[in-house]
Amino acid sequence: MTDKEKKIAKCSLCDEPRSEKYRPFCSKRCADLDLNRWLTGQYAIPVEEQEPDDFDKALGQSHLASSETNDPTKLN
């Protein structure tokens, strides 16, 4: 209704005004709820970050394995 109201940032989880202490949330309760979402895997971001890392390691291991096979002198 007023300009001042529009400037109030709202909690990421609910529509309550954010608290400076718990931003971007309104309270410890909402901050805990968000943390719990991360811990229970409801966010997909951590999983997406792991996939390219594992893929890289898999590529590196297969590369090492094949070079050892192709160069028997490295075994001794």
Contacts with Zn ion, residue ranges (CB under 5 A): 11, 13-14, 16, 26, 30
Are 24 and 32 within 8 A, CB to CB?
Answer: no
Pick between residue 14 and residue 67 the one whose CB is nearest to Zn ion.
14
Task: Work out how close the CB of 61 gets to Zn ion at its nearest, in angstroms, rounded to a whole number.
Answer: 45
- Residue 3 Cβ vs Zn ion, minimum distance, rounded to whole Å: 23
Task: Name the residue among 10, 29, 30 with its Cα closest to residue 18.
Answer: 10
Q: Nearest distance from residue 20's CB to Zn ion, in Å?
A: 14
Q: Which residue is listed with tokens 């990421």?
A: 12
Nearer Cβ to Zn ion, position 38 or 55? 38
Lookup: tokens for 4: 């001042």
